[in-house]
């Protein structure tokens, strides 16, 4: 086992906290005895879903402005897990809020670390099918557009400005489409 594999956190110091993000500086000791400081982010896990409309084989995407990248992206419906919320409950809630349909029979496809060098945040990737129509209930900070697209259209939109986890989630579920 490499010396880094045995790195031990000696202490953690909170540097900044805002909304759902916290920045820490950790003092660590590697297996070879060397010590160093390391910056680490704490952010909530999130869930993302590919929901297929079984009637026309189309999937919903949402377009929204992402402040960090300072641009709009087409993405799959997704959202942060609330405290004590399961990933499946999160994606059911978010899908209904953003798309206006329930996500029927959600199946977990993958659990992905989004940036394992700096964070333990995971993305839970689900697939399911469009269920019953509901009323969209966006958060007060959300301004998004929802559209329904074929597999090829969705791939083109997701690839234009890549939001990595969303594109990967789509590709993981691509075999679920008929065409």
pLDDT tens string 89-145 = 999 999 999 999 999 999 999 898 988 889 999 999 999 999 999 988 877 777 889
Domains and CATH numbers, the chain: 3-42 (no CATH), 46-176 (3.90.79.10)
Please enumerate in sequence order all residues whose Cβ is within 8 A of that of 112, keeping only pairs 6 or more positions apart, or say none.
Answer: 122, 123, 125, 165, 168
The pLDDT confidence band at residue 83, using thresholds 50, 70 and 90, is very high
Q: How far apart are CA 148 and CA 143, in angstroms?
A: 17
Which token pair is 132?
């019953």
CA distance readout (Å), 101 to 20, 39, 127: 27, 40, 14
Say what the pLDDT of residue 5 is: 63
Percent of the chain with pLDDT over 70: 89
Could you list the beta-strand ranges (E) of the chain.
Answer: 8-18, 21-29, 35-42, 46-52, 59-66, 71-75, 78-80, 101-113, 122-133, 144-149
Say what the pLDDT of residue 3 is: 46
Say what the pLDDT of residue 179 is: 46
Q: How far apart are CA 144 and CA 110, in angstroms?
A: 26
pLDDT tens string 56-71 = 989 999 998 888 889 8
Which token pair is 28?
């660590």
Q: How far apart are CA 95 and CA 162, in angstroms?
A: 20
Q: How far apart are CA 5 and CA 162, in angstroms?
A: 31
**Above 80 in pLDDT, residue 173?**
no
Please enumerate in sequence order all residues whose Cβ is within 8 A of that of 175, keeping only pairs 6 or more positions apart, or say none.
Answer: none
Say what the pLDDT of residue 152 is: 86
């Amino acid at each position: 086992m490499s010396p880094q594999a045995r790195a031990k956190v000696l202490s953690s110091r909170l540097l900044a906290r805002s909304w759902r993000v916290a920045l820490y500086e950790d003092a660590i000791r590697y297996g070879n005895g060397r010590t160093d400081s390391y910056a680490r982010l704490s952010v909530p896990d999130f869930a993302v879903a590919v929901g297929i409309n079984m009637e026309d084989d189309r999937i919903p995407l949402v377009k929204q402005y992402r402040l960090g990248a300072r641009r709009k992206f087409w993405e799959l419906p997704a959202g942060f897990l609330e405290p004590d919320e399961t990933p499946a409950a999160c994606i059911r809630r978010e899908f209904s809020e953003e798309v206006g349909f329930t996500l029927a029979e959600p199946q977990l496809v993958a659990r992905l670390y989004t940036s394992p060098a700096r964070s333990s945040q995971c993305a839970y990737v689900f697939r399911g099918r469009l269920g019953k129509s509901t009323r969209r209930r966006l958060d007060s900070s959300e301004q998004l557009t929802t559209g329904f697209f074929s597999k090829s259209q969705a791939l083109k939109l997701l690839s234009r400005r890549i939001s990595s986890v969303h594109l990967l989630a789509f590709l993981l579920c691509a075999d679920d489409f008929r065409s």
